[in-house]
Structure 1
């Protein structure tokens, strides 16, 4: 489970501002994430929660869930853009090895759904997570080989993500909140109360 938190830990590296189009949840360069796409991940995750016993477990809901799921999509997209720039490829074999490694950590493929719910990752985002983790590991290895101390590697990756996000002009619809420089996080804003809520199915 610790691995599941690696990518999430650097999500607050992104500086996000408002999107111009009302139907856009966020944009990363010329990549657009629609509100419908963002909502589909929320609905998917909620559907998975309903399949398992979550008694006594607290999960993000409402606007907090909207922000965290959008944040995940943004950060994995930025990782992809960094990989393109640095010509870092992720092979099908690497993805499969990483997938099998996760299965070993959690006690088998049958436990994946429960683990993804705990990590707040929609099933269709699992490969995105794996890919971002592989890219992050490759960046960590490159930084270490370049002489960066192990204790500084994560901070350097966060810095790289922030700079790439700024270069791509990452923006977020203010309905999802506002970016707070002081806390380094996407937080609720005056307009966040009208953010997309999970649809009834």
Structure 2
């Protein structure tokens, strides 16, 4: 990664093994819920709908069944990773709110333009986010909002996304939201989660061409 360019957070799947734990999930039973975050249920049906969005986008992006099957094979943990992403989105958003961070439509557009330039165009960007991070085109702006929130949060804290101060803010937000996963999808403990899906880091840095260079 070029040190002189700004970076965009990609917070889409499970966190890297080296990152500190946010919090452990409780073992309460929540029939029909994949998770409970901030007192609100993420239902199993909602989770499956999000997974289906990715699978539909993957099927549309390939030429034949063999390619589709290869895409499925490389995203075998999609349901679990999708749930982690749905929960983590809310954790980052809460932490950003707590820090007084706001995101404008222009922020998202600017990031999208920079990443599209780097990827080789808007369609190429959509294909990259789908293939690498499991984000379908219809969710791209939603995901980029998360990227901006994460980057602005780190800046507001005077740190970056690799440092304890950033993760402490997320840990606090996670505790405030009382994150509780259905045990069938694991526990809300970063170390344990990444041990299962260590090949898909939750936080990844990508260079955003076209954005301003950092000092």
- TM-score band, normalised by shorter chain: 0.7 to 0.9
CA–CA separation in structure 1 for the residues paired with 2:134 and 2:26: 24
Q: 1:135 aligns with which of 149, 154, 158?
A: 149
1:85-113 CA distance string (max 9 Å, x none): 22211111111111212211211112133
Q: 2:140 aligns with which of 115, 120, 126?
A: 126
CA–CA separation in structure 2 for the residues paired with 1:140 and 1:26: 26
Change (3 A) 1:125 1:21: same
SS in 2 for 1:6: strand
More helix by share: 1
Shift of 1:20: 2.7
Q: How does 1:83-102 map to 2 (within 5 A)?
A: 83-102=96-115
Deviates more, 1:36-45 or 1:13-22: 13-22
Q: 1:37 aligns with which of 46, 50, 74?
A: 46
Q: 1:6 aligns with which of 10, 30, 37?
A: 10
Aligned length: 180
User: If the length of structure 1 is used for normalisation, what is the TM-score?
Assistant: 0.75
Change (3 A) 1:67 1:175: same
The unaligned stretches of length 5 or more in structure 1 are 189-201
Q: Which residue of the partner structure matches residue 162 of structure 1? A: 171
CA–CA separation in structure 2 for the residues paired with 1:32 and 1:139: 26
Structure with bigger RCO (C-alpha 8 Å, 6+ apart)? 2
Shift of 1:143: 2.8
User: If the length of structure 2 is used for normalisation, what is the TM-score?
Assistant: 0.71
